[in-house]
Amino acid sequence: MLIPQQPHDPALRTTRGIVHTWGNGSPRLVVLGSSHALMYGKLIDDICKQLGLSVAFLSADATPVFFTNVPDKPAPAAAESFDAARIRRLKEWNPDAVFVIDRWDSFAGRPAEFDQQLRNLFRELVPHTRNVIVFSQVPVLRLGSDINLREYVAWYFKRFGHLPEITPDPNESSRKASLAAIEAVARDFPTVRFVRVDPLFYRANGTVSYSSGRSFLYADDNHLSDAGAEITRDIFTQAIVASQTQQLWVASEVPREQDRSLRSIARISPGNSLPAQYGHLSKHFPWRPPKSSRERNLADCADRES
Protein backbone atom coordinates (compact mmCIF):
# COMPACT_ATOMS: atom_id res chain seq x y z
CA MET A 1 0.00 0.00 0.00
CA LEU A 2 0.95 3.64 -0.28
CA ILE A 3 1.62 5.26 3.08
CA PRO A 4 -1.75 6.59 4.38
CA GLN A 5 -2.03 10.32 4.85
CA GLN A 6 -4.42 12.28 7.01
CA PRO A 7 -6.52 15.10 5.49
CA HIS A 8 -4.74 17.64 7.70
CA ASP A 9 -1.34 16.57 6.36
CA PRO A 10 0.22 19.70 4.78
CA ALA A 11 1.45 17.54 1.89
CA LEU A 12 -2.12 17.11 0.73
CA ARG A 13 -3.12 20.74 1.24
CA THR A 14 -0.08 22.62 -0.05
CA THR A 15 1.46 20.24 -2.60
CA ARG A 16 0.11 17.94 -5.29
CA GLY A 17 -0.56 14.90 -3.11
CA ILE A 18 1.37 11.78 -4.10
CA VAL A 19 2.40 12.23 -7.75
CA HIS A 20 4.49 9.81 -9.79
CA THR A 21 5.51 11.21 -13.16
CA TRP A 22 5.96 8.01 -15.12
CA GLY A 23 4.97 9.87 -18.30
CA ASN A 24 5.19 13.35 -19.72
CA GLY A 25 3.16 16.24 -18.43
CA SER A 26 0.60 16.36 -15.64
CA PRO A 27 -1.09 13.27 -14.15
CA ARG A 28 -3.47 11.58 -16.61
CA LEU A 29 -4.99 9.44 -13.87
CA VAL A 30 -6.05 10.68 -10.43
CA VAL A 31 -7.10 8.34 -7.61
CA LEU A 32 -9.53 9.70 -5.00
CA GLY A 33 -10.68 7.95 -1.86
CA SER A 34 -9.92 6.75 1.63
CA SER A 35 -7.61 3.96 2.79
CA HIS A 36 -9.64 1.74 0.46
CA ALA A 37 -8.13 3.69 -2.42
CA LEU A 38 -4.65 3.55 -0.91
CA MET A 39 -4.76 -0.25 -0.65
CA TYR A 40 -4.74 -0.37 -4.47
CA GLY A 41 -2.01 2.27 -4.67
CA LYS A 42 0.94 -0.05 -5.25
CA LEU A 43 -0.97 -1.95 -7.95
CA ILE A 44 -2.22 1.15 -9.78
CA ASP A 45 1.19 2.77 -9.56
CA ASP A 46 2.85 -0.34 -10.99
CA ILE A 47 0.42 -0.47 -13.92
CA CYS A 48 0.93 3.22 -14.65
CA LYS A 49 4.71 2.79 -14.50
CA GLN A 50 4.52 -0.03 -17.05
CA LEU A 51 2.34 2.10 -19.32
CA GLY A 52 4.44 5.25 -18.90
CA LEU A 53 1.47 7.10 -17.43
CA SER A 54 1.74 9.82 -14.77
CA VAL A 55 -0.58 9.23 -11.81
CA ALA A 56 -1.63 11.19 -8.71
CA PHE A 57 -3.11 9.92 -5.45
CA LEU A 58 -5.29 12.48 -3.67
CA SER A 59 -6.41 10.02 -1.02
CA ALA A 60 -6.28 10.10 2.77
CA ASP A 61 -6.72 7.51 5.49
CA ALA A 62 -10.06 7.55 7.35
CA THR A 63 -11.36 10.28 5.04
CA PRO A 64 -14.47 9.83 2.86
CA VAL A 65 -14.12 10.45 -0.85
CA PHE A 66 -17.09 12.82 -0.77
CA PHE A 67 -16.53 16.55 -0.75
CA THR A 68 -17.69 17.68 2.68
CA ASN A 69 -18.18 21.37 1.93
CA VAL A 70 -21.69 21.15 0.50
CA PRO A 71 -24.70 23.47 1.07
CA ASP A 72 -26.13 23.34 4.62
CA LYS A 73 -23.17 21.23 5.83
CA PRO A 74 -20.23 23.43 6.84
CA ALA A 75 -17.00 21.44 6.79
CA PRO A 76 -14.24 21.43 9.43
CA ALA A 77 -11.26 23.53 8.41
CA ALA A 78 -9.00 20.55 7.62
CA ALA A 79 -11.62 18.80 5.50
CA GLU A 80 -12.50 22.02 3.69
CA SER A 81 -8.83 22.63 2.91
CA PHE A 82 -8.44 19.05 1.66
CA ASP A 83 -11.50 19.43 -0.59
CA ALA A 84 -10.18 22.69 -1.99
CA ALA A 85 -6.82 21.09 -2.74
CA ARG A 86 -8.44 18.19 -4.58
CA ILE A 87 -10.63 20.44 -6.72
CA ARG A 88 -7.72 22.79 -7.43
CA ARG A 89 -5.54 19.93 -8.68
CA LEU A 90 -8.30 18.44 -10.82
CA LYS A 91 -8.92 21.81 -12.47
CA GLU A 92 -5.18 22.22 -13.03
CA TRP A 93 -4.58 18.74 -14.45
CA ASN A 94 -7.84 17.88 -16.25
CA PRO A 95 -6.92 14.16 -16.17
CA ASP A 96 -8.25 11.57 -18.59
CA ALA A 97 -9.69 9.56 -15.70
CA VAL A 98 -10.50 9.82 -12.02
CA PHE A 99 -10.77 6.60 -10.03
CA VAL A 100 -13.17 6.79 -7.07
CA ILE A 101 -12.72 4.17 -4.33
CA ASP A 102 -14.15 4.04 -0.82
CA ARG A 103 -15.83 1.87 1.81
CA TRP A 104 -19.37 2.28 0.51
CA ASP A 105 -21.18 0.33 3.24
CA SER A 106 -20.40 3.24 5.58
CA PHE A 107 -22.88 5.39 3.64
CA ALA A 108 -25.40 3.03 2.00
CA GLY A 109 -27.41 2.61 5.21
CA ARG A 110 -28.88 6.08 4.54
CA PRO A 111 -30.13 5.66 0.95
CA ALA A 112 -31.42 9.17 0.25
CA GLU A 113 -28.31 10.84 1.67
CA PHE A 114 -26.02 8.39 -0.14
CA ASP A 115 -27.76 9.12 -3.44
CA GLN A 116 -27.26 12.86 -2.93
CA GLN A 117 -23.62 12.41 -1.90
CA LEU A 118 -22.90 10.46 -5.07
CA ARG A 119 -24.61 13.04 -7.26
CA ASN A 120 -22.76 15.93 -5.60
CA LEU A 121 -19.47 14.10 -6.05
CA PHE A 122 -20.05 13.33 -9.72
CA ARG A 123 -21.15 16.92 -10.43
CA GLU A 124 -17.86 18.13 -8.96
CA LEU A 125 -15.72 15.64 -10.90
CA VAL A 126 -17.34 15.39 -14.33
CA PRO A 127 -16.37 18.89 -15.59
CA HIS A 128 -12.67 18.19 -14.96
CA THR A 129 -12.14 14.73 -16.48
CA ARG A 130 -13.24 12.62 -19.43
CA ASN A 131 -13.97 9.54 -17.31
CA VAL A 132 -15.05 8.95 -13.72
CA ILE A 133 -14.64 5.28 -12.80
CA VAL A 134 -16.11 4.09 -9.51
CA PHE A 135 -15.01 0.78 -8.00
CA SER A 136 -17.09 -1.43 -5.74
CA GLN A 137 -16.08 -2.36 -2.21
CA VAL A 138 -14.70 -5.79 -1.41
CA PRO A 139 -16.54 -7.91 1.20
CA VAL A 140 -15.70 -7.40 4.86
CA LEU A 141 -14.68 -10.40 6.97
CA ARG A 142 -16.86 -11.36 9.92
CA LEU A 143 -13.95 -11.05 12.32
CA GLY A 144 -14.02 -7.45 13.44
CA SER A 145 -11.14 -5.02 13.46
CA ASP A 146 -9.67 -6.39 16.72
CA ILE A 147 -8.95 -9.91 15.43
CA ASN A 148 -5.68 -10.58 13.60
CA LEU A 149 -6.59 -12.63 10.52
CA ARG A 150 -3.32 -14.56 10.33
CA GLU A 151 -3.37 -15.45 14.02
CA TYR A 152 -7.00 -16.55 13.82
CA VAL A 153 -6.40 -18.78 10.79
CA ALA A 154 -3.28 -20.32 12.37
CA TRP A 155 -5.18 -21.02 15.61
CA TYR A 156 -8.15 -22.49 13.77
CA PHE A 157 -5.99 -24.73 11.60
CA LYS A 158 -4.04 -26.00 14.60
CA ARG A 159 -7.25 -26.82 16.46
CA PHE A 160 -9.43 -28.22 13.67
CA GLY A 161 -6.94 -29.33 11.02
CA HIS A 162 -8.37 -27.26 8.18
CA LEU A 163 -8.75 -23.62 7.20
CA PRO A 164 -11.83 -21.78 8.45
CA GLU A 165 -14.60 -20.52 6.22
CA ILE A 166 -15.22 -16.85 6.95
CA THR A 167 -18.52 -15.23 6.03
CA PRO A 168 -19.07 -11.53 5.30
CA ASP A 169 -19.86 -9.29 8.26
CA PRO A 170 -23.43 -8.15 9.13
CA ASN A 171 -23.16 -5.10 6.85
CA GLU A 172 -23.38 -7.30 3.74
CA SER A 173 -26.87 -5.98 2.97
CA SER A 174 -25.55 -2.41 2.99
CA ARG A 175 -22.79 -3.39 0.56
CA LYS A 176 -25.32 -5.00 -1.75
CA ALA A 177 -27.46 -1.86 -1.53
CA SER A 178 -24.45 0.30 -2.39
CA LEU A 179 -23.96 -1.64 -5.64
CA ALA A 180 -27.48 -0.85 -6.81
CA ALA A 181 -27.29 2.76 -5.63
CA ILE A 182 -24.01 3.57 -7.39
CA GLU A 183 -25.10 1.83 -10.57
CA ALA A 184 -28.40 3.75 -10.61
CA VAL A 185 -26.78 7.17 -10.10
CA ALA A 186 -24.03 6.42 -12.63
CA ARG A 187 -26.68 5.95 -15.34
CA ASP A 188 -27.52 9.66 -15.02
CA PHE A 189 -23.94 10.70 -15.81
CA PRO A 190 -22.71 9.62 -19.28
CA THR A 191 -19.02 9.71 -18.37
CA VAL A 192 -19.35 7.83 -15.07
CA ARG A 193 -18.75 4.06 -15.02
CA PHE A 194 -19.14 1.57 -12.19
CA VAL A 195 -16.71 -1.35 -12.01
CA ARG A 196 -17.22 -4.43 -9.83
CA VAL A 197 -14.18 -5.97 -8.14
CA ASP A 198 -16.05 -7.63 -5.27
CA PRO A 199 -17.05 -10.85 -7.13
CA LEU A 200 -13.38 -11.85 -7.17
CA PHE A 201 -13.48 -12.26 -3.39
CA TYR A 202 -16.57 -14.44 -2.95
CA ARG A 203 -16.53 -18.22 -3.03
CA ALA A 204 -19.36 -20.23 -4.56
CA ASN A 205 -20.90 -20.85 -1.13
CA GLY A 206 -20.99 -17.13 -0.28
CA THR A 207 -18.01 -17.10 2.07
CA VAL A 208 -15.09 -14.73 1.53
CA SER A 209 -11.99 -15.75 -0.40
CA TYR A 210 -9.43 -14.40 2.06
CA SER A 211 -6.42 -16.52 1.03
CA SER A 212 -4.80 -18.17 -1.96
CA GLY A 213 -2.24 -20.87 -1.28
CA ARG A 214 0.10 -19.45 1.34
CA SER A 215 -0.85 -15.84 0.57
CA PHE A 216 -3.38 -13.85 2.57
CA LEU A 217 -5.54 -11.66 0.35
CA TYR A 218 -6.68 -9.49 3.27
CA ALA A 219 -4.52 -7.29 5.51
CA ASP A 220 -7.34 -6.94 8.06
CA ASP A 221 -11.11 -7.45 8.07
CA ASN A 222 -11.84 -4.87 5.34
CA HIS A 223 -8.58 -4.01 3.52
CA LEU A 224 -6.84 -6.11 0.90
CA SER A 225 -3.18 -6.98 1.21
CA ASP A 226 -0.86 -6.35 -1.74
CA ALA A 227 -1.49 -9.98 -2.74
CA GLY A 228 -5.24 -9.35 -2.63
CA ALA A 229 -4.98 -6.18 -4.67
CA GLU A 230 -2.94 -8.11 -7.22
CA ILE A 231 -5.99 -10.32 -7.88
CA THR A 232 -7.65 -7.26 -9.42
CA ARG A 233 -4.76 -6.39 -11.76
CA ASP A 234 -6.58 -7.35 -14.98
CA ILE A 235 -9.62 -5.24 -14.09
CA PHE A 236 -7.57 -2.17 -13.18
CA THR A 237 -5.36 -2.57 -16.25
CA GLN A 238 -8.40 -2.72 -18.51
CA ALA A 239 -9.93 0.35 -16.87
CA ILE A 240 -6.71 2.38 -17.12
CA VAL A 241 -5.99 1.46 -20.74
CA ALA A 242 -9.59 2.03 -21.79
CA SER A 243 -9.65 5.48 -20.20
CA GLN A 244 -6.45 6.49 -22.00
CA THR A 245 -7.10 5.03 -25.44
CA GLN A 246 -10.82 5.78 -25.62
CA GLN A 247 -11.18 2.25 -26.96
CA LEU A 248 -14.49 0.38 -27.02
CA TRP A 249 -14.60 -3.22 -25.90
CA VAL A 250 -17.90 -4.54 -27.22
CA ALA A 251 -19.98 -6.04 -24.43
CA SER A 252 -20.93 -9.19 -26.30
CA GLU A 253 -17.26 -10.15 -26.69
CA VAL A 254 -16.71 -10.59 -22.96
CA PRO A 255 -17.04 -14.17 -21.71
CA ARG A 256 -20.50 -14.66 -20.23
CA GLU A 257 -19.12 -16.34 -17.11
CA GLN A 258 -17.25 -13.18 -16.15
CA ASP A 259 -18.86 -10.49 -14.06
CA ARG A 260 -20.94 -7.94 -15.94
CA SER A 261 -18.70 -5.13 -14.66
CA LEU A 262 -15.97 -6.36 -16.98
CA ARG A 263 -18.28 -5.60 -19.89
CA SER A 264 -18.94 -2.07 -18.66
CA ILE A 265 -15.26 -1.17 -18.32
CA ALA A 266 -14.55 -1.04 -22.00
CA ARG A 267 -17.66 0.94 -22.83
CA ILE A 268 -16.09 4.02 -21.24
CA SER A 269 -16.03 5.76 -24.58
CA PRO A 270 -15.59 4.85 -28.25
CA GLY A 271 -12.40 5.09 -30.26
CA ASN A 272 -10.73 3.95 -33.44
CA SER A 273 -7.60 1.93 -32.73
CA LEU A 274 -5.30 0.73 -30.00
CA PRO A 275 -2.15 2.89 -29.89
CA ALA A 276 1.14 1.06 -30.51
CA GLN A 277 2.41 1.54 -26.95
CA TYR A 278 -0.51 -0.53 -25.66
CA GLY A 279 -0.21 -3.26 -28.28
CA HIS A 280 1.18 -5.78 -25.80
CA LEU A 281 -2.19 -5.71 -24.01
CA SER A 282 -4.12 -6.91 -27.04
CA LYS A 283 -3.25 -10.54 -26.33
CA HIS A 284 -5.02 -10.26 -22.98
CA PHE A 285 -8.05 -8.15 -23.85
CA PRO A 286 -10.23 -8.38 -26.99
CA TRP A 287 -10.09 -4.70 -27.97
CA ARG A 288 -11.56 -3.57 -31.27
CA PRO A 289 -13.23 -0.38 -32.50
CA PRO A 290 -17.00 -0.10 -32.88
CA LYS A 291 -18.27 -0.55 -36.41
CA SER A 292 -21.34 1.60 -36.13
CA SER A 293 -23.73 3.34 -33.77
CA ARG A 294 -26.04 0.35 -34.21
CA GLU A 295 -23.34 -1.97 -32.87
CA ARG A 296 -22.90 0.30 -29.86
CA ASN A 297 -26.64 0.19 -29.25
CA LEU A 298 -26.59 -3.60 -29.41
CA ALA A 299 -23.73 -3.64 -26.93
CA ASP A 300 -25.69 -1.43 -24.55
CA CYS A 301 -28.70 -3.68 -24.91
CA ALA A 302 -26.62 -6.80 -24.22
CA ASP A 303 -25.26 -5.22 -21.07
CA ARG A 304 -28.72 -4.28 -19.80
CA GLU A 305 -30.04 -7.77 -20.42
CA SER A 306 -27.13 -9.51 -18.67
pLDDT mean over 229-240: 93
Q: Is 246 left (phi over 0), alpha (psi -120 to 50) or beta?
A: left
Beta-carbon contacts of residue 256 (< 8 Å; ≥ 6 apart): 306
Residue 230 and residue 163: Cα distance in Å, rounded? 22
pLDDT of residue 268: 34
What pLDDT, in 10s, does the model give residues 100-150? Answer: 999 999 998 899 999 999 999 999 999 999 999 999 999 999 998 889 999
pLDDT band at 235 (very low <50, low <70, confident <90, very high): very high
User: 198 pLDDT exceeds 90?
Assistant: yes
Expressed in angstroms, the distance from the first to the final Cα of the chain is: 34
pLDDT band at 47 (very low <50, low <70, confident <90, very high): very high
Q: What percent of the chain lies above the pLDDT cut of 90?
A: 59
| 10-245 under CATH 3.40.50.1110, yes or no | yes
- CB 27: neighbour CB atoms within 10 A? 28
pLDDT mean over 72-89: 70
Q: Is 62 left (phi over 0), alpha (psi -120 to 50) or beta?
A: left
Task: Sketch the domain layout of the chain as residue ranges.
Answer: 10-245, 248-306
Half-sphere exposure (Cβ direction) of 234: Cα atoms closer than 13 Å: 13
Q: What percent of the chain lies above the pLDDT cut of 70?
A: 71
Residue 46 and residue 22: Cα distance in Å, rounded? 10
pLDDT band at 16 (very low <50, low <70, confident <90, very high): low
Q: What is the value of pTM for the model shown?
A: 0.77
- Select the more confidently predicted residue: 299 or 130: 130
